Amino acid sequence: MIRAGVLGATGYTGFELLQWLAYHPHVEIAFATARSDAGKPLSALYPTDLDIQLQAVEDVSLSDADVLFLCLPHGAAQEWAQRGLDAGAVVIDLSADHRLHDADVYARWYNQPHTAPHLLAEAVYGLTEWRREALRQARLIANPGCYPTSILLAVAPLLNAGLLDGATIIADSKSGVSGAGRSPKLGSLFVEVNENLKPYNIGHVHRHVAEIEQELHALAGDHAPRGIVFSPHLLPVSRGILSTIYVPWPQGLSADDLRALYAETYADEPFIWLLPEGATATLAHTVRTNRCAISLHPVPERDQLIIVSTIDNLVKGAAGQAIQNMNVRFGFDERAGLMPVARARVQEV
């Protein structure tokens, strides 16, 4: 049994994480912190029966936790990652603070300096299915962003096989409103979002572009794509991400070859759901689960392959993947605490 601490427990991601951790067979919750709601039970903020008393971060002892989850805004996680490491905890950062390897790149995309650049080289990017060996020894795990998770898992088999050398990847992604966080913002208000579909930060300006392109190169090695054109949209639903991804048709391969590549790559992955030929991934395939559903749509007559990928932004895109990474790091069954939504091998509908 290990003890888990959660810093920033009252945002959507922190609350989601606590709900999953509370039923994990190998985890006890050591503490959960909140900035302005310290002293209140979690049930005073959310409709839940979880009997968790929120504490001020200054009042907890980080050494009480074997694993420390940081559900903090970018910028705030840097100090607490170092403190957690100094206290002997494995740190899993759900913010963006340790995803980028280069402090200058971080400063350019997040408009602030990185105060602990020495940690960037140590942080393991936690795209679980592709980083298991590094995760087993990691002290600091950078949990991937939700949009990058949906895109990278969809194209990783092609990248790993060197089939997107020099290509431009186009990703059209749509996210539920919970992806914008719990703090009130004009653009997230019901009247602004309901019966509307809003693109934002389209092209090559969203902060996740840097993270996506870094990992595209890491997965492809010497056969890296040129980069990505990324167009996110705000979808009038509470949760879920659907990414429609356009890549050049890999020359010399048939549609059957591509399907075989994906089936072989993800055959033993409990949370990757490759849909059968003719099916299309939807939010309903993955919402409230730790799955990523992928469907392949060949358009060889136009030299294009379309890939549709869906995840729950709060689970596989955040809390669920963090628990999956924790399971790998501590040697638990990777499905522990996530078993109700695990799928063995490639599933057919």
Rounded CA-CA distance 125/298 in Å is 30
CB 229 within 8 A of CB 170: yes
What domains are defined for the chain?
A: 2-122 (3.40.50.720), 147-311 (3.30.360.10)
pLDDT number for residue 69:
98
Q: How confident is the model at residue 140 (pLDDT cuts 50, 70, 90)?
A: very high
> What's the first-to-final CA gap in the chain, in angstroms?
36
pLDDT, the chain, mean: 93
Q: Please name which of 305, 285, 291 lies closest in space to residue 345, comparing C-alpha atoms.
A: 291
- Which tens digit of pLDDT belongs to each residue from 283-292? 999 999 999 9
Rounded CA-CA distance 212/168 in Å is 13
What are the backbone dihedrals phi and psi of residue 201, each rounded to the nearest 5 degrees, phi first?
45, 50
- Which tens digit of pLDDT belongs to each residue from 7-40? 999 999 999 999 999 999 999 999 999 988 998 9
pTM: 0.94
Q: Is the pLDDT of residue 345 over 70?
A: no
- Which tens digit of pLDDT belongs to each residue from 222-268? 999 999 999 999 999 999 999 999 999 998 899 999 999 999 999 99
- Which tens digit of pLDDT belongs to each residue from 176-223? 998 877 776 777 788 788 889 999 999 999 999 999 999 999 999 999
pLDDT number for residue 234:
95
- Which tens digit of pLDDT belongs to each residue from 85-130? 999 999 999 999 999 999 999 999 999 999 999 999 999 999 999 9
Rounded CA-CA distance 163/2 in Å is 42
For the chain, what is the HEC assignment?
Answer: CEEEEEECCCCHHHHHHHHHHCCCCCEEEEEEECCCCCCCEHHHCCCCCCCCEEECHHHCCHHHCCEEEECCCCCCHHHHHHHHHHCCCEEEECCCCCCCCCHHHHHHHHCCCCCCHHHCCCCEECCHHHCHHHHCCCCEEECCCHHHHHHHHHHHHHHHCCCCCCCEEEEEEEECHHHHCCCCCHHHCHHHHCCCCEECCCECCCCHHHHHHHHHHHHHHHHCCCEEEEEEEECCCCCCEEEEEEEECCCCCCHHHHHHHHHHHCCCCCCEEECCCCCCCCHHHCCCCCCEEEEEEEEHHHCEEEEEEEECCCHHHHHHHHHHHHHHHHCCCCCCCCHHHCCCCCCCC
Average pLDDT over residues 300-320: 97
Determine the residue type at 148: P
216 token code pair = 């595209």
Mind telling me the catalytic residues? 146
Least confident of 48-57, 284-293, 340-349: 340-349
Exposed / middle / buried, residue 263 (Cβ in 10 Å: 0-12, 13-18, 19+): middle
